[in-house]
Amino acid sequence: MTAPAPVPLVFVYNADGGVLNGLRDLWVKTVRPGEYDCQLCAVTYGVTGMKREWRDYVKGLGRDVRFLHRDELRDEYGVQGVPLPAAFEVGPDGTLREWLPASQIRAAATLDDLMRLVKARLDREARTEPAPAP
């Protein structure tokens, strides 16, 4: 018997998608970082795009991982009004279940903090998964 495929993850930014929104976010993040409201964006993106260290880390998770903006979350899953940024698992029926709440992601002051948070969550899952049948 083969092990089930790892559950896909969806990280959702507390920002809307699109070029103009991206430029606005970059301006606020640079000029008034204290007013920027997406800690996921703040620690995973630099001026030139997604930080390589984060991109490589996510690729190494062994899971399908997607990144959405809050308007895309609403459009694709019908989910709105949830605290963001957050990460969700995609269930077998296509519904989302909170995987990392906004409170935890907002508390990640650095990229290393965020990667430790993700690792801790994965470690908890590994300890609670049932052993494969012989």
Report which of 89, 82, 35, 49 is spatially closest to residue 65, judged by C-alpha positions. 89
Contact 82, 1 (CB under 8 A): no
Q: Which amino acid is at 35?
A: E
User: What is the pTM (predicted TM-score) of this model?
Assistant: 0.83
Give the span between the Cα atoms of 24 and 46, in whole angstroms: 14
Query: Domain locations in the chain?
Result: 9-128
The percent of residues above 90 in pLDDT, for the chain, comes to 59
> What is the tens place of the pLDDT at every residue in 14-25?
987 776 666 666
Give the span between the Cα atoms of 123 and 117, in whole angstroms: 10
